[in-house]
Amino acid sequence: MTFSEENYLKTIYHLTTVLDTEVSTNAIAEKMETKASSVTDMLRKLAEKNLVNYKKYQGVSLTENGKLTAKMIVRKHRLWEVFLVEKLDFSWDEVHDVAEQLEHIKSDQLINKLDDFLGNPTEDPHGDPIPDAYGRIAKTDKQLLSDLAINQIGICVGVKDSSSEFLKYLDKQEIALGSKIEIISKETFDSSTKIRVNANELTISNKIATNLFVKVV
C-alpha cells in the first residue's frame, strides 16, 4: 500500500469511529483537505483492493480487511507516540507529526518488539486506545468533562482534540492525563465551567470542557 492509501484508510477509520455511520466523500475531502474528485478516485482503488465498501453517491465504510489494516496503522502511530514521549522526552503536543511519518514503517516485527519494549501500553500520550497486534481495543469508561454535574470529580484520561494548540493550552493550565478535575460551578449563559485542578481554580470555556475526557471518581 502507498502512504496515501494508508492515510485514507486511517481517516475513514477515525471518521467512522466518531460518526458511527457510513462516511461521505465530502467529509473525507474536508478532513484530508483535498478535492472530492480526488477522494472518489482513491475510494475506487481501495474498493478494488477490498478495503472499503463504496458506491457512487453513497457513503463509504471499511471492509473487515480494511478495518484491521486501519487499526494496524493506528497501532503503529500511537506506539510511536508513546516511544517519543517516554523514551525521547518529546512533549505530547510535538509527537503527532513525527508519528505520522513513522506509522508507515512496514515491519510488523519491529512494531511488535516496540510494543514489548514499551511494556505493551494500552493508551497513547493523549489517552487514545492502542489496538493490540490482533486489532483488539480495550474499552475504557470515560465521558466528556462537560457532562459532569456540579461537585462531581473526574480524572483526566484523554483528549478529543489532540491539536498542538489545545495541548499547549492544557499545559499552561497544568491539566494533564491523571489530573483530578472537580466541577465547582457552571454558567447558564455561555456554558463556561469553573473547575478545580489539583489546588488551582480556573474557568474554562464549553469548547474546552467538550474536548476533555474524564473518568468519574
pLDDT surpassing 90 at residue 177? yes
Condensed to tens digits (0 to 9), the pLDDT of residues 85-123 reads: 999 999 999 999 999 999 999 999 999 999 999 999 999
Question: What's domain 143-216's architecture?
Answer: Roll (2.30)
CA 171 from chain center: how many Å? 18
Task: Write down the pLDDT at residue 7.
Answer: 95
Report the pLDDT value the prediction gives residue 30, as an integer from 0 to 100: 93
Asked whether the beta carbons of 193 and 183 are under 8 A apart, the reply is yes
Which residue did the predictor score with more confidence, 62 or 59? 62
- pTM for the full model? 0.88
* Cα distance between residue 92 and residue 90, in whole Å: 6
**18 in helix, strand or coil?**
helix
Residues of the chain with CATH 2.30.30.90: 143-216
For 3-62, CATH gives: 1.10.10.10
CATH 1.10.10.10 residue ranges of the chain are 3-62
Task: Label residue 50 exposed, middle or buried (CB < 10 Å: 0-12, 13-18, 19+).
Answer: exposed
